[in-house]
Amino acid sequence: MYLLTANANYSPDLGARFDEYFCTMGHGLAAKDLTEPRVAHAARLDALPDDALRAMGIARDDIPRIVFRDLFQS
């Protein structure tokens, strides 16, 4: 279950995708550990319509992987 904190600046759905991504990575990180620039980048991507993401070659579920691609190889 994903718990939205009052000061989170991203959607509950994006937070759940972060949680799922970090669980599959097994690195002990959670959405609360995200840095502001990465959260802002993810939130900008998440705010785009599906057509815009598709044009960029990004699936909505891949946003966490895209945002953290420089840290983790998956």
- What pLDDT, in 10s, does the model give residues 24-43? 766 555 555 567 788 889 88
Question: Which one-letter amino acid corresponds to residue 17?
Answer: R
- Are the CB atoms for 46 and 63 separated by under 8 Å? yes
| Residue at 20 is within a domain | yes
Domain count, the chain: 1
pLDDT at residue 3 in the model? 41
| Residue at 4 is within a domain | no
| Residue at 19 is within a domain | yes
pLDDT at residue 53 in the model? 95
Model's pTM, two decimal places?
A: 0.60
| Residue at 3 is within a domain | no
| Residue at 37 is within a domain | yes
| Residue at 7 is within a domain | no
| Residue at 51 is within a domain | yes
The SS3 of residue 57 is coil
Stretches in the chain below the pLDDT threshold 50: 1-7
State which residues form the domain around 49: 12-67
Distance CA 6, CA 66 (A): 25
pLDDT at residue 48 in the model? 94
The SS3 of residue 39 is helix
| Residue at 5 is within a domain | no
